[in-house]
Amino acid sequence: MRRLFVFLSLMLACAHAHAELPASVVEALKNAGIPQQSVAVYVQAVASDSPLVRHNADKSLNPASVMKLVTTNAALELLTPTYRWKTEVYKNGNVTNGVLNGDLIIKGYGDPSFKAQEFWRLLMSLQQAGVNQIKGDLIIDKSVFEKNVGGNHPFDDETWRAYNATPSAFLVNGRSTSFKFTADEGGVNIAQEFELPELQIINNMTLKQSACSAWRNDMRYLVNAFDNKTTVTFSGSYAPDCGEKYLELSVFDDEKYAFYTFKKLWRELGGKFNGALKIQATPSTAIKVIEQVSDPLGYVVRDINKWSNNLMARQLLLTMAVEGSGTPATEARGSEAVRSWLASKGLRFDELVIENGSGLSRLERISAEHLGQMLVSAYHGAVMPELMASMPILSKDGTVIGRLKDSLSNGRVHLKTGSLNGVNAIAGYVLDANGHRHVLVMMVNHVKAAASKNAQDALIEWVHQQP
């Protein structure tokens, strides 16, 4: 009996030890001024049934962009890695000698990866189908998503930043304009990466002869939107030492951006069009001319996770709603699709809150333990290769390209990051020095969360060094 008591005592002691944070992590948190009660950590070997570290793991916390792992894992399983979005083109009128005597209709199905080059290919195919001039209007059908899905309220006061763009069933280039900044002896140069004539740059930037540091803090912009034109005025200073830098802004809504891009590409292809833009459902009299499909989801999720693309993640959540509940899609239906998927795997996350699936939210919640359990389950699932390949590789690419460059863990960690004001999180897979893989989750919800990077790195190093 005494031996049994001693054995149980040792087991409890081991369990308690496993719940403790590694000393290096504790020290880094202390140096950052972050209390341990504001931190949740979960570490488990994928071959084990129990965690190695479990600290505040059942606390419901804001995960920031780490939530994208839930969205993309669910989508890979529900839609499959081979899923492709379609974009359809219809004509509502007869075509005679290359002239469409009627309207052209483009119907979108929520493709998050539809860029200008895909649009160019679509319009080239239309011309090859015999249409060179459009006498009517351009109709864009966005009916597969609920009208004004995602709302019109930006996440923060950076109204024009690309991350504040809302979803659309027909989204071109993420409706984002990329401004490229360079400097030489002649001054500061600003150019649009994909130039639209309806956008004018007013460059009031001055040259600064100093080292490059926090370059965005030295620059300001002002957006003025008119009916058929938008101006962006840049002021401040820029140093040649900064090289090439980019600023992503969404200065047009999804409809105008798509319309302006259509007119630019159609004109460059030699087509003729003088009509207007209409937003409505496809008329029953319309006839389909072309259907174009996207790259498979297995490729698309890489852009979502490696570069933490919020808008693409939101489009993905809505796509799950379309395929699960029909149209028009809502974010609530997308959230329910994810919950149902988790339940089907025996994973019941009562604390889970999904607002839009991207993590760009003050409402979204999950516990470190449940996120860790999902990642363990995913590792043993059919879509593990696609999910892991979509995650940034430590010090090699994506959002962790410059992190732990001199560490032995370099290249051995697939890690999703997430950050908001007051939130910082990491989650992913760590291959230790002996070739054993572990799931790692760390979430910090505290006013000093941004200072938790050293503690995160200490945890990564500790897991990598496991015997």
pLDDT tens, position by position, 205-221: 999 988 888 899 999 99
Q: How confident is the model at residue 20 (pLDDT cuts 50, 70, 90)?
A: confident
On whether the CB atoms of residues 441 and 375 are closer than 8 A, the answer is: yes
DSSP label at residue 137: -
Two tokens, residue 34:
């972050």
Query: What pLDDT shows up at residue 209?
Result: 86
Two tokens, residue 448:
């000093």
Distance in angstroms (rounded) separating the CA atoms of residues 279 and 290: 19
Q: Which residues pair with 178 in a beta bridge?
A: 248
Two tokens, residue 90:
């219809």
Amino acid identity of residue 97, one-letter, is: N
What percent of the chain stands above pLDDT 90?
91
Two tokens, residue 116:
């200008």
Count CB-CB contacts under 10 A for residue 128: 9
Give, in words, the CATH class of 86-144+259-292: alpha beta
Domain layout of the chain by residue ranges? 18-82+298-464, 86-144+259-292, 177-249
Amino acid identity of residue 262, one-letter, is: F
Q: How confident is the model at residue 18 (pLDDT cuts 50, 70, 90)?
A: very low
Distance in angstroms (rounded) separating the CA atoms of residues 452 and 28: 8
Q: Which SS3 state, helix, strand or coil, does residue 103 take?
A: strand
DSSP H or E segment with residue 110: none
Q: Does residue 5 have a pLDDT over 70?
A: no
Two tokens, residue 61:
């916390």
Q: Which residues pair with 220 in a beta bridge?
A: 235
Query: What pLDDT shows up at residue 15?
Result: 42
In sign, the C-alpha dihedral spanning 270, 274, 280, 286 is negative
Two tokens, residue 393:
């590789």
Q: How would you label 75-109 residue by residue, b for 16+ Cβ within 10 Å and e otherwise?
A: bbbbbebebbbebbbbbbbebeeebbebbbbbbbb
Q: At 47, phi and psi to the nearest 5?
A: -90, 0
Q: How do 219-225 and 230-238 pair as beta strands?
A: antiparallel
Q: Choose among 321, 282, 328: nearest CA to 139.
A: 282
Q: Which residues pair with 138 in a beta bridge?
A: 104, 277
Distance in angstroms (rounded) separating the CA atoms of residues 416 and 438: 14
Q: How do 437-445 and 39-45 pair as beta strands?
A: antiparallel
Q: How do 219-225 and 245-249 pair as beta strands?
A: unpaired
pLDDT tens, position by position, 300-315: 999 999 999 999 999 9
Would you mind telling me the total number of residues written for the chain in this entry?
467
Count CB-CB contacts under 10 A for residue 207: 14
Q: Which SS3 state, helix, strand or coil, does residue 295 take?
A: coil
Q: How confident is the model at residue 12 (pLDDT cuts 50, 70, 90)?
A: very low
* Burial class (CB within 10 angstroms; exposed 0-12, middle 13-18, buried 19+) of 169: buried
In sign, the C-alpha dihedral spanning 290, 295, 301, 307 is negative
On whether the CB atoms of residues 76 and 427 are closer than 8 A, the answer is: no
On whether the CB atoms of residues 56 and 449 are closer than 8 A, the answer is: no
Instruction: List the CATH code of the domain at 18-82+298-464.
Output: 3.40.710.10
Query: What pLDDT shows up at residue 6?
Result: 39
Look up the pTM and report it: 0.94
Q: Choose among 333, 277, 329: nearest CA to 169.
A: 329
Give the DSSP per-residue string, 434-458. Answer: TS-EEEEEEEEESTTGGGGHHHHHH
Q: How do 219-225 and 138-141 pair as beta strands?
A: unpaired
Distance in angstroms (rounded) separating the CA atoms of residues 40 and 372: 11
Distance in angstroms (rounded) separating the CA atoms of residues 221 and 204: 10
Q: Does residue 251 have a pLDDT over 70?
A: yes
DSSP H or E segment with residue 389: helix 384-389
Query: What pLDDT shows up at residue 185?
Result: 86
Query: What pLDDT shows up at residue 19?
Result: 58
On whether the CB atoms of residues 129 and 289 are closer than 8 A, the answer is: yes
Residues 6+ apart with CB under 8 A from 74: 320, 337, 338, 341, 342
pLDDT tens, position by position, 99-113: 999 999 999 999 999
